[in-house]
Amino acid sequence: MADQKTCPPLTSDSVRAAYPLISPYIHRTPVLRSKTLDRMASTAQEESALKGTAFEGQKPAAPVFRLHFKCENFQKIGAFKARGAFHAMLRLCSELGIDEVRKRGVTTHSSGNHAQALALAAFTLNIPAHIVMPSISTKSKIAGTRAYNARVIFSGSTEPERVAVVQEVIKATGAILVPPYDHPDIILGQGTVGLELEAQVRDMAEGSAEECSPKQGSSLDAVITPLGGGGLLAGTAVYFSDKPCTSVFGSEPSFEGGDDGRRGLAAGSRIPEVSTLTIADGLRTPVGEVNWTVISDQKKVRGIFSVTEEQIKEAMKLILERLKLFIEPSAAVPLAVILFDEDFRKLAEKEGKEKGWDVGVVLSGGNTSVEAISRLYGTK
């Protein structure tokens, strides 16, 4: 990767500078609304639904939400990762020279979305790519990576297993590592999701009779993204860091300790290893070191919440049926928090009061298959 010492600082201005670099290579994905989902999210949960949870015995919150879904499932390669991959590759070519990068090639490890994104960026710039993927990766993600002429090498599913194979690739080929999330250039590229989202929501508010609450240059009270390695959440938080009236939140699966970000904040230090087979396969990685410097800053990320596998499935089902959007489980995690996490809902109820909250919900990707979805919802 480009030397971190020469990288732009992690500021909102740097996100704005990244945007024109990558704009020729990415889609400006749409923002969608659903009054039905607004109504469902704004309805208090049944008390019976809280039995057996940490919220049992509490009065269910009844916040008012207006949800703005940023559809990165429509992004190139089907996920937001194209933004960071193109920004990182363009910066790398600028720093080392494109001929040198073409001579050496690039490598990375990824469960699928960054794999496809780097493969696309490398194919576009005519650079060889060696992609390490867990052998349990979704077949459609493997096929999508190979479609851009990338060489795919399989590994185990854990972070240490992936990294070990990447090191073998680097030793054998001299390829340059383009990490999936833990680098400033990746973070700044992913932050352009927030830049687009804010502008689109503002434009929607100006063109509609329905009023959105003005928040010092932003029409959003809050933005919530999934959290895996942390590039998307950190980039979004960096972009909104100069807009203190827009709170940024992360969302994770709780299954088998997949909520390392939430637990790390509670413990006061980053958790370096995660081993979970949550259905949200894009969120199985630990938060990166560079990303943690942003995510652990409460002035940038206000909180992280986690949800169960069943809650993720329910949120995904609603998005499929109500928004008519094909998404992967990782992308449903933010809506699951909005619907089911009483701590988040009570915060929105308290601060939003009668007027409520305008919330940007980042649907991070749609790289799954009909077969995988059928297995999730099939009868036992």
Instruction: Give residue limits of the domains in the chain.
Output: 30-74+191-377, 80-183
Fold of the CATH domain 80-183: Rossmann fold (3.40.50)
**Average of pLDDT values for 75-80?**
96
- In this predicted structure, the answer to whether residue 195 has a pLDDT above a threshold of 90 is yes
pLDDT at position 299, please?
A: 96
Sole residue written with tokens 């600082």: 9
The sign of the dihedral angle between the CA atoms of 310, 285, 341, 244 is: negative
pTM score of the predicted model? 0.93
Read off the pLDDT of residues 136-178 as tens digits, 9 standing for 90 and up: 888 888 999 999 999 999 999 877 888 999 999 999 999 999 9
CATH architecture of 30-74+191-377: 3-Layer(aba) Sandwich (3.40)
Read off the pLDDT of residues 266-320 as tens digits, 9 standing for 90 and up: 999 999 999 899 999 889 989 999 999 999 999 999 999 999 999 999 999 999 9
CB 113 within 8 A of CB 365: yes
- Residue 250, classed as helix, strand or coil, is strand
pLDDT at position 136, please?
A: 87
- In this predicted structure, the answer to whether residue 72 has a pLDDT above a threshold of 60 is yes
With helix as H, strand as E and coil as C, how does 70-99 read?
A: EEHHHCHHHECHHHHHHHHHHHHHHHHCHH
pLDDT at position 210, please?
A: 47
Read off the pLDDT of residues 196-224 as tens digits, 9 standing for 90 and up: 999 999 998 876 544 444 444 568 999 99
Query: How many other β-carbons are positioned within 10 Å of the β-carbon of residue 47?
Result: 13
Read off the pLDDT of residues 2-49 as tens digits, 9 standing for 90 and up: 678 889 999 999 999 999 999 999 999 999 999 999 999 999 999 999
Q: Which two tokens stand for residue 139?
A: 């077949």
Read off the pLDDT of residues 216-259 as tens digits, 9 standing for 90 and up: 456 899 999 999 999 999 999 999 999 999 999 999 999 999 99
Q: Using 50, 70 and 90 to split pLDDT, how confident is the model at 112?
A: confident
- In this predicted structure, the answer to whether residue 117 has a pLDDT above a threshold of 50 is yes
What average pLDDT is seen over the chain? 93
What residues are labeled active site? 81, 111
Q: What stretches of the chain show up as alpha helix (H) in DSSP? A: 12-22, 35-41, 81-96, 98-104, 113-124, 139-146, 159-173, 184-190, 192-206, 231-239, 260-267, 289-295, 309-318, 329-340, 342-352, 370-377
Q: Rounded to 5 degrees, what are φ and ψ at 67?
A: -100, 135
Q: Which two tokens stand for residue 42?
A: 């704004």
Same topology for domains 30-74+191-377 and 80-183, yes or no?
yes
**Average of pLDDT values for 112-134?**
95
CB 368 within 8 A of CB 328: yes
